[in-house]
Structure 1
Amino acid sequence: MSGPRRPRPRLNGSPQGNPHGSGIGPGASSGLQAVLELPDFRLLWLGQIFSQLADKFYIVLMVFLIAQTWVQGTPEANPALAEAASAIRVNLPETRAQMITLLATGIYVANTLPAMLLGTVAGVWADRWPKRTVMVASNGLRAALVLLAPLCLLEGPEWFGLSWGYWGLVGMTFLESVLTQFFAPAEQALIPQLMPAQHLLAANSLYQATSMAATIVGFALGDPILRLLRSGLGALGIPGGEFLLLPACYGFAALSIARIQAREQPRPTSRSSVLEEIREGIAVLRERPRVASAMLQLVLLYSLLAALYVLAISLASAVSGLGPTRFGTLLAMSGLGLAVGALAVAQLGQGLNRRVLASAGLGLIGWSLLLLGQLRGSLTFTLLLCGVLGVGAALLAIPAQTTIQEDTPEELRGKVFGLQNNLINIALSLPLVLAGAVVSRWGLLPVLWTLAAIALLAAIVERPWRRC
C-alpha cells in the first residue's frame, strides 16, 4: 500500500495503484459502479455526453440549414451557382440530394482540417493551462460561437454562386473545430488524474460506450429534434428554435465540468518553445514502446473503421431489404456492438491480459470482415457480423487507450493525446479518400479480404501468448 485511502483523488499527481491488478479491497465496488461513485468523474462524464451530442448536432444543423436555405430547388434553379461551376469546370450535381452532399462537403472539410493540423499544438497548450479551465472555456466559447449561426441566413453578397452566409458557416465550423482540438487532449489527460489507476479501464470503457451512443443518438435524432424545436417554439411565437439546441448542449457541458471540485497544482511557466514540447511528446513514443504500440493499434483501428464507413454503402447495396441509402443501419449495428463490448470490458476486463484483449479484438475484426465478404447477401448475417466487428473494436480500443494514459507521464499527457488526435484524424481521413476509388477499381470482395488480412496479421504480431 502506498498510503491511506483518500476520499477523492487529487490532481497533483497520478493516482497510486497497480495498473494491471485489481487493487480493490474486500467489499469495494468495481467496474462501472466504482467509476460512477466518484462525483468529479460523474461531472466530467456528463460534460462529455453533452459535448459529444453537441458535436453531432452541429453537423446535423449545418446540413439542415444547407437544405433549407441554399438547396431549396433543383441545382439548375440557381443560375449564379451554375455559372460559377462552369467557370471552375465542375459539373453541377443533377439532383437536390447530390447538391446538399456537395455543399455539406465544405462543412466536413472545415471540420476536419483543424483536427489534422492543430491537434499536437493544442495538446501542448492543454499541458500548459489548467485542464478543467481549458475544457470549460472550450465549451463556453463554442456555445457563444454557434449563437452567430442565425446571422449567416441574412441576405448579402454572393461568392462562387453562394451567399456569404454559406461561407460564414464554413468559417464558423473551422473555428468550432479549432476549439474542439483543445477540449479533446485536456479531457483525456484529466481522466487518469480523477480516476484511481485500478478503475481506468472501466472509466475508458464507459467513455467509449457513451461516445458511441452519443454518435448514434446525435445523428439519428438530430434532425427530428431540430424540426421539433423549430415548429414547437415557432407555434409559441419564438422563431429560430433550432438554433437553441447547440448553445444549450455546450452550455450544460461547460457548467457540468466547472463544478468539478478537485484542483490541479499550478504548473511553472514553460520556457520551452511549442516545437520543443511537441518533440517531447514524440520522444515518449520512442522511450515507451507500450505507448507507441497502443497508439499504433488505435491508428490501425480507426483506419479500418473509416474504410468500413465507405464500404458500408457497397455492403448495404448487396443486401436485399437495405440498399445503398440505408448503409447507416450497418454503421449503427457496429456502434451498438462497440457499446456492448465497452460495457463488457468495463465489468470483466480488469484482470485480463491486454495482449489477449487486443489480439481478440483484431481477430474478431479480421474474421468479421472476411465473412462479410462471403455472406454479404444475407441481412441477418451482415447485421450480426457488423455487431461482432464493433465488439472487436471495443476490445482493441479500450485497453490501448488505458495503456497510453497509464504509461504517459502526467506532465506530458496533453502533448501525447494531442499527437494521438492528429494521427487518428489522419487515419480516419485517408481511407475515406482511398477506399471508394479502390472499390471502384477492384471490387468490394478483394478490399474486404485485404482489410481482414491486415487485421489478422496485426493480431498475430501482437503475440498474445506473451505476458502483458
Structure 2
Amino acid sequence: MGEHNRGTTSILSGPTLNSPEPALPTGSNPEGRRGLAAVIKLDGFRRLWIGQIFSQLADKFYIVLMVYLIAQYWVSSTPQSNEALAEVAAAIRMDFETRAQKITLLATGIYVANTIPAMLLGTVAGVWADRWPKRRVMVASNALRALLVLLAPVCLLPGPHWLGLSWGYWALLVMTFLESVLTQFFAPAEQATIPQLVPKEHLLAANSLYQATSMGATIVGFALGDPILRLLKQAFFSLGLNGGEFLLLPFCYGMAAISLSTIQMQEQPRESSRESVWQEIGDGLQVLRQQAAVRGAMLHLVVIYSLLAAMYVLAITLAGSIKGLGPTGFGMILAMSGIGMALGAVVMAQTGHRFNRRNLCATGLGTIACTLVLLGGVLGSLGPTLLLCGLLGVGAALVAIPAQTTIQEDTPEAQRGKVFGLQNNLINITLSLPLVLAGALVSSYGLVPVLWLLAALALVAALLERPWQRC
C-alpha cells in the first residue's frame, strides 16, 4: 500500500479516514473462521509459534540463570571482592550494603551486556535477515544460542581475577553479549516470517497470539525460572550428578530450533546484493518515508513502549505507596499489566477484525490516559491500583497489536527484515530512555505529576487519530 490515492491522513496513521480496514472480514473469509482457533490450525504458523514459546522462555530463563549464578558464586563475604565492588558502586552512586544490592550491581552488568546489541545491531541484523533464508536464520540463531549457553559451567572454574572478580563473571558478560547478538538476527527473521505463513485476514489474530504468548512467557519465565532451576539442580543431585540447572536453557533453545526447522515455507531466492549494508538500511528507511501506514504504526509502537518503559520505573514508587506491599512488590504491579496485555491480546484475536484499526488505537491510547490519571487518585490502595494496571495493559494491547499487523501487511516482502530490524532498534532505544527520565522526574516532581504528564502524552497521541471523524 503506497501513499497514492490516500487522501487526507492523520499524523500517526496512513489510511484515509473513509478507507476500509485491510483486515476486515470478506466474503471468502466469514467471521466464523476467524480468531485463535483458525490461526492455530495453520501448520506453519503453529510450528513457528511453538518455536517462539521455547525461545521466549529461554530468553527469560537466561536472565534468571545469570542472577542465580551471581548470587551463588560471585556475591561472597571475601574482603577483596567486597572492596572492589564497593568502589564500582560508589562510582555509579549505588548503595552497596545488603547482599541484594551486591547482586543487583553485578546483575546490572548482565543487563547492560544484553542491551547493547539490542540498541546497536537490530537494523544491521535485519539487513542480513533479508539476505539469508529466514528459516535458516531462525534455526541457526537458536541452535547457536543452545551451544553457547553450554559454556556457562566453564565460567565457574577457578582462574585469574580482575577488579576483584574471577574471570568467569567477565566471561558471562561476553557470553551474554554474544547471546544478545544472535537474538538480534532471530527477532526480525521471526517477524518477517509471520506474513509468509499467515494469510492476510488472519494476521491480526496471529499477532494477538504472539503478544499473549510473549506476555505469558515473561510472567512464567521470571516467576518460575528460579524454582525450576533449583528443582533441576536437586533432581540431578539426587541422581549423583551436578549441574542440572545448566540443562534448562539448552533444552529450550534446542526445542525452538527443532520446531522451527520443521516449518515448510517457500522463500523467493534472492540474488547476491551489490548494495552495502548501509545502502540497504537506507532502503528500509525509504519504506518508512513512502509508506505512511508503516510510519504511523512504527510511531504508535514507539509511543506505547515509551509509556510502558516509564511504568517499569513508576511501578516501584506505586508499590511503595501501598501498605503491605512496599517497593519490592513492584513485580505484582508489572505482572498485572502483563496479564492485562495478554487478556487484551486474546480479545483482539477473537474480535479485533471487526473494528477499524485506527479506532482501536485511539481507544487504547485513551484508555491508557484515563488509567494513568486514575492511578494518581488511588495511591495507596492495592485493589484499585492492580485493576487499573490490568486495564492499562489492555489499552497497550489495543495499540501494539494493530500497529504490528499494519507493519507486516504494508511492508514489501523484500524489505521486511530491514524494517523489523529498524523497529527493534527503535523499541530498544525507546525502552531505555524513559527508564532514565522517569526516575529523575519522579525524584524532582513526585509521582502524580509524572503520571499526569504521561497521560497527557497518551491523550495527545489518541486525539491525533481524530476518532470523532469515524464515529
TM range (shorter): over 0.9
What code does the residue aligned with 1:178 have?
V
**Of the candidates 34, 48, 53, which is equivalent to residue 30 of structure 1?**
34
Whole-Å separation in 2 of the counterparts to 1:354 and 1:169: 44
TM-score, with structure 1 as normaliser: 0.93
Distance in 2, matches of 1:84 and 1:216, equals: 31
Number of aligned positions between the proteins: 449
Deviations 1:408-449 (A, max 9, x none): 000000000000000000000111122112111111111111
Distance 1:343 1:64 in 2: 33
- Helix, strand or coil: the match of 2:353? coil
2:368 pairs with 1:369: no
1:125 aligns with 2:128: yes
Classify the secondary structure of the residue corresponding to 2:271.
coil
Answer yes or no: is 1:459 the counterpart of 2:465. no
Aligned pairs (5 A) from 1:204-353: 204-353=207-356
Match of 2:48 in 1: 44
Post-superposition CA distance 1:347-367 (Å, at most 9, x none): 001020111100010011111
Q: Is 1:110 aligned to residue 113 of structure 2?
A: yes
What residue identity is the alignment partner of 1:233? F
- After superposition, the Cα gap between the structure-2 partners of 1:68 and 1:28, relative to the gap in structure 1 and judged at 3 Å, is same
- Answering whether residue 183 of structure 2 is matched by residue 180 of structure 1, we say yes
Distance in 2 (CA, whole Å) between partners of 1:190 and 1:318 is 44
C-alpha separation in 1, matches of 2:325 and 2:85? 37
Distance 1:146 1:87 in 2: 27
Unaligned runs of 5+ residues in structure 2 are: 1-19
Q: Name the counterpart of 2:11.
A: none
Aligned to 2:79: 78
Q: Which residue of 2 aligns with 1:11?
A: none
List per-residue Cα deviations over 1:234-274 (Å, max 9, x = no partner). Answer: 11112000000000000000000000122312111111100
Residues 121-180 of structure 1: CA deviation (Å, up to 9, x unaligned): 000000000000000000000000000000000011111111000000000000000000
- CA distance change for structure 1 residues 84 and 233 in 2, over 3 Å: closer, same or farther? closer
SS in 2 for 1:44: helix
Task: Tell me, yes or no, if structure 1 residue 195 matches structure 2 residue 198.
Answer: yes
Summarize deviations over 1:70-93 as a string: whole Å, max 9, x none.
Answer: 1134xxx33244146448963771
SS in 2 for 1:382: helix
Match for 1:135 among 133, 138, 144?
A: 138
Report the residue type matching 1:66 in the other structure.
Answer: I
Q: Which SS does the other structure have where 2:303 is aligned?
A: helix
Tell me the amino acid that sits aligned with residue 183 of structure 2: T
Q: Separation in 2 of the partners of 1:356 and 1:25?
A: 22
* Cα shift readout 1:384-406 (whole Å, capped 9, x = no counterpart): 00000000000000000000001
Distance of 1:94 and 1:246 partners within structure 2: 32
Query: Is the deviation greater in 223-232 or in 85-94?
Result: 85-94
Match of 1:145 among 120, 144, 148: 148
1:436 pairs, out of 428, 436, 439, with 439
Task: With the length of structure 2 as denominator, give the TM-score of the two structures.
Answer: 0.93
* SS of match in other structure, 2:83: helix
Rounded Cα–Cα distance in structure 1 between residues aligned with 2:79 and 2:345: 48
**For 1:411 and 1:467, how far apart are their aligned partners in 2?**
33
The counterpart of 2:399, out of the listed 390, 396, 420, is: 396
Q: Confirm or deny: 8 A CA contact 2:89 2:96 kept in the other structure.
A: no
* Corresponding residue of 2:58: 54
Q: In the aligned structure 1, how far is the partner of 2:337 from the partner of 2:357?
A: 22
Contact (CA 8 Å) 1:355, 1:467: kept in 2 or not? no
Contact 2:130 2:414 in 1 (8 A): yes
Distance 2:198 2:88 in 1: 57
In 2, distance between residues paired with 1:156 and 1:371? 55
Partners of 1:355 and 1:466 within 8 A in 2:
no
Give me the whole-angstrom Cα distance separating, in 1, the residues matched to 2:336 and 2:258. 33
Q: Which residue of 2 aligns with 1:64?
A: 68
Q: What residue in structure 2 maps to residue 4 of structure 1?
A: none
CA deviation profile, 1:43-88 (whole Å, cap 9, x unmatched): 0000000000000000000000000001134xxx332441464489
SS in 2 for 1:350: helix
Range that drifts further, 186-195 or 430-439: 430-439
Alignment check: 8 A CA contact 2:24 2:355 kept: no
Who is 2:170 aligned against?
167
* Cα displacement string for residues 326-370 of structure 1 (whole angstroms, at most 9, x for unaligned residues): 110000000000000000000001020111100010011111111
**SS of 1:284 mapped into structure 2:** helix
Structure 1: give runs of 5+ residues left out of the alignment: 1-16
